[in-house]
Structure 1
Amino acid sequence: MATGTDERQTVRKRGLAPLLASTGVSVTGDGIFAAAAPLLAASLTRNPVAVSAVSAAGYAAWFLVGLPAGALVDRWHRRAVMITADLARFVVLGVLALLLVTGHATVGLLIVAVFLVGVGACFFEPAAQAAVPAIVGRDKSALSRANGKVWALDTFGRSLAGPPIGAALFAAVAALPFGLDAVSFLVSAVLLIGLPAGRAESAATEPILSAVRNGVRYLVRSAELRTLSLGMAAYNFGYNVAFATLVLFAEDVLHLGNIGYGALIATAAVGGILGGWLGPRVGQHISARRVYAVALLVQGGAWALMLFGNPWVAGVALAVVGIASTTVSVVGGSARQLLTPDNMLGRVTAATRLLGIGSAGVGAMVGGAIAHAGTLHTPLIVAPILLAVLSVVFGLRSSTT
């Protein structure tokens, strides 16, 4: 006879399965989009600032709607939020595909589309992050394992399966990768129907601005959460300084074509999948703050390897970046979920994303400006120096908090 504990575990596994299935489908579409969008931008213009603006557009959405979206997630049913966000992104990408087919696509319209997809993420990601502890509980080991699976799928689809498909489809017909990504969001929405229709334990009823302030205040007053948010911001900033114009570096310096660029990006998933396995184990023995300090330094060293100008060395470097990125995502995300009460998870996640993803957008624009002022090598010189300094600063801050 099954015990109450066994029944709860079965329910949690069943609840996690739709989320994992949805993640696997939608992030593969995201990987297709991640490869195709910069390729489309590069085909429309060779201006590094314009190309980097495409990368920055998705992050810019968090500056405008990230915080109120988190507050709304804390009062709405999480499953409904995720399904609605998926359907909205299905429409946006479907329209972009049609514009490409009819020959009306421009860099400006691409930036708008990327921005609107980012708005959808502002709602989807806090809801998904809040759903994980609601499904698997708040045991540190179980939560870390669940996050490891989510992030391993994320890196597999976003960096391994998706980019080569996106690059190959773009080389064949420019509209295909965007249409396929639209379909992936539609399939994801259907899969999420099986997710438990949960909402915050104590859904907020206060005015949105007040709810936002309370969420930000909770984050700022928690030394641990504040430090983790700064770690994410530092990591994402350095990453995007180097990555924003990588498509131009791959084409003009590494002499890779569209498919070669997709394969290059895919190597990050090799390390990312390992990071999904490694993260839960590292988190059991090392504090999240220490993990961030080490990951910043590791990422900087990896970008420096790119300067050799060898595609094989570049592939190894991106694999190392993948290990570091997924590890900090698993460890940092699990720590944040454990430190935050259920009725605050949407707002705290959104506030953390605002800082982390917002800094990524700034990093992308800085990377584009640096490449425009110097050469395509310049971001890969500046980023390692910045990351080394940030690692030292963050390590010192961690030791005093």
Structure 2
Amino acid sequence: MTEPKMPRAFGRLWSAATVSSLGDGAYLAALPLFAVALSSDPVVVSLVTVAALLPYPLLGLVGGALVDRWDRRRTMWLADAARALLLLVTVVAGAMGLIGIPALLLLAFLLGVGELFFDTAAQAYLPDLLARDRTLLRKANSRLRGASTAAGQFLGPPAGSFLFSVGRTLPFVVDAVSFVGSALLIRSLPKVPPPPREPGRSLWADAREGASYVLRDRVLLGLALRPAVGNFAYAGAEAVLALYARDVLGLHSVGYGLLLAAEALGGLIGAFLAGPLEKRLGTGTALTVTAVAEVAAMLVVGFASNGVGVGAAFVLCGCAMAATMVLGWSVRQAIVPARLMGRVGAASRLVSISAGPVGAVLGGWLASVAGLRAPYLAAAGVLAVMTVVVAGMTSNRRIEAALAAAAARPSEVSSVDG
């Protein structure tokens, strides 16, 4: 049987995502450096990261409901255009010496709002563009994840650090240009009419419907728990990674950077291993295997005595996380009704992102009372429990049944225009 062909429009979407990821990588590397240049207070500096994450717990559910009401293609390119304008205003303000910590916090928050709307709309638009074809969705998510890792984690951060050393606002210029390029590419994509919705419903009622849909569906709940528990465990481990690398492994800043690069390398590999794993094992079993790999990686880090072993563990961990994301996104996009895609995606991401700060605080506390190895061993334990709990929720049988039920539903989306 011949596999379906990827539409040419996906190439433009992929290009837009790659360009935007490169700019984001530069910006995200420069943002904390800018904060450190303005204040030496670690609490103040950490608030910049918090400000960038705040839009999800504050606006995530409502944002998902709005995306399901709006034209998703238009939402994406307008979000990019708005972020480009915001960054250009920041560059002008920086040239005039008007940027302080409050302005930086506002910038991080508003860019986070733009990211929320763009990412939610993109995840909802993709299954419409690809006619919810399972094979195409997996391939598309693999390519998007690989591009995001290569541009946003390998190329962008070192470029951003270098550009910041030349001029503090120069990385913001690069990010603004990337958003302009992305907006132009996305505006050229085919139009997909918004799915029909029940008239007269309030925005909050729509938002609650998306959250309750996730909670009632065992497959979707399992797919939401994986990144949520993973972020909780990894945030606790990574919160003390710089100290662990220095005090336990005897690594300096270069060695620490290599550990981060090892995780990014694993992510790049995992994005393209997701397909072969799924074909050989089935989606549910592949998800269980990646969960076991994450447990093993954290155990190795917790007991390791040298940087080589830890680096290998980080490659394995990054590989497993990326494969999990590709498989999880593809299943969700194939089984969720089009009219709920934005809300379900936003609700799932809200849970996963909100778990990270809690895990980071607990990881720091655990390291202070039980030593720097403790957060990694605790992370392994938490991930092991999650593996057992979620394995039955996302088994091959359950996922295949969900895919069959989705295929039997009448289509809610008109044909792609363009």
**Which TM-score band applies after superposition, normalised by the shorter structure?**
0.7 to 0.9
Please list the CA deviations of residues 132-164 of structure 1 after superposition, one character each: whole Å capped at 9, or x if unmatched: 111122332221111101111111111111111
Is the 2:301–2:309 Cα contact (8 Å) retained in structure 1? no
Residue 66 (structure 1) shift: 0.8
TM-score, scaled relative to structure 2 = 0.82
Name the amino acid aligned to 2:384: V
Q: 1:57 aligns with which of 40, 51, 58?
A: 51
Is the 1:275–1:322 Cα contact (8 Å) retained in structure 2? yes
Equivalent residue number for residue 383 of structure 1: 375
How is 1:279-358 mapped onto 2 (pairs within 5 angstroms)? Answer: 279-284=274-279, 285-286=281-282, 287=284, 289-291=287-289, 293-301=291-299, 304=302, 310=307, 316-358=312-354
Equivalent residue number for residue 171 of structure 1: 165
Equivalent residue number for residue 409 of structure 2: none
Q: Take 1:41 and 1:249, find their aligned partners in 2: how far apart are those partners?
A: 24
Name the amino acid aligned to 1:256: S
How is 1:99-138 mapped onto 2 (pairs within 5 angstroms)? Answer: 99-138=93-132
Q: Take 1:382 and 1:29, find their aligned partners in 2: how far apart are those partners?
A: 36
Is the 2:270–2:319 Cα contact (8 Å) retained in structure 1? yes
Is the 1:160–1:267 Cα contact (8 Å) retained in structure 2? no
Equivalent residue number for residue 211 of structure 1: 206
Q: Take 1:98 and 1:77, find their aligned partners in 2: how far apart are those partners?
A: 32
Please say if 1:193 is aligned against 2:187: yes
**Total equivalences in the alignment:** 386
Equivalent residue number for residue 416 of structure 2: none
Is the 1:215–1:348 Cα contact (8 Å) retained in structure 2? yes
Please say if 1:183 is aligned against 2:177: yes
How is 1:186-265 mapped onto 2 (pairs within 5 angstroms)? Answer: 186-203=180-197, 205=199, 206-244=201-239, 254-256=251-253, 265=260
Please list the CA deviations of residues 105-158 of structure 1 after superposition, one character each: whole Å capped at 9, or x if unmatched: 334432322221111111111111111111122332221111101111111111
Residue 210 (structure 1) shift: 1.0
Name the amino acid aligned to 2:216: R
Classify the secondary structure of the residue corresponding to 2:7. helix
Equivalent residue number for residue 40 of structure 1: 34
Residue 242 (structure 1) shift: 3.3
Q: Take 1:302 and 1:44, find their aligned partners in 2: how far apart are those partners?
A: 38
Q: Take 1:16 and 1:353, find their aligned partners in 2: how far apart are those partners?
A: 23
Please list the CA deviations of residues 68-127 of structure 1 after superposition, one character each: whole Å capped at 9, or x if unmatched: 111111111111100111112112323333444344433443232222111111111111
Equivalent residue number for residue 277 of structure 1: 272
Question: Residues 249 and 43 of structure 1: is their aligned pair in 2 closer, same or farther, counting only changes over 3 Å?
Answer: farther
Question: Residues 399 and 266 of structure 1: is their aligned pair in 2 closer, same or farther, counting only changes over 3 Å?
Answer: closer
Is the 2:290–2:324 Cα contact (8 Å) retained in structure 1? yes
Residue 254 (structure 1) shift: 4.0
Please list the CA deviations of residues 150-193 of structure 1 after superposition, one character each: whole Å capped at 9, or x if unmatched: 11111111111111111111222221112211221111111111
Identity rate, percent? 36
Name the amino acid aligned to 2:69: R
Is the 1:219–1:225 Cα contact (8 Å) retained in structure 2? yes
Q: Take 1:27 and 1:83, find their aligned partners in 2: how far apart are those partners?
A: 15
Please say if 1:94 is aligned against 2:88: yes
Please list the CA deviations of residues 299-337 of structure 1 after superposition, one character each: whole Å capped at 9, or x if unmatched: 5246548x7575x66655543333122111101111211
Equivalent residue number for residue 394 of structure 1: 386
Q: Take 1:245 and 1:55, find their aligned partners in 2: how far apart are those partners?
A: 16
Is the 1:293–1:395 Cα contact (8 Å) retained in structure 2? yes
Question: Residues 84 and 358 of structure 1: is their aligned pair in 2 closer, same or farther, counting only changes over 3 Å?
Answer: same
Name the amino acid aligned to 1:320: L
Is the 2:226–2:390 Cα contact (8 Å) retained in structure 1? no
Q: Which has the larger radius of gyration?
A: 2
Is the 1:152–1:273 Cα contact (8 Å) retained in structure 2? yes
Name the amino acid aligned to 1:386: A
Q: Which moved more, 1:199-208 or 1:126-135?
A: 199-208
Question: Residues 38 and 184 of structure 1: is their aligned pair in 2 closer, same or farther, counting only changes over 3 Å?
Answer: same
Name the amino acid aligned to 1:319: V
Residue 278 (structure 1) shift: 0.5
Q: Take 1:74 and 1:203, find their aligned partners in 2: how far apart are those partners?
A: 9
Name the amino acid aligned to 1:278: L
C-alpha RMSD of the superposition? 3.0
Q: Take 1:107 and 1:369, find their aligned partners in 2: how far apart are those partners?
A: 27
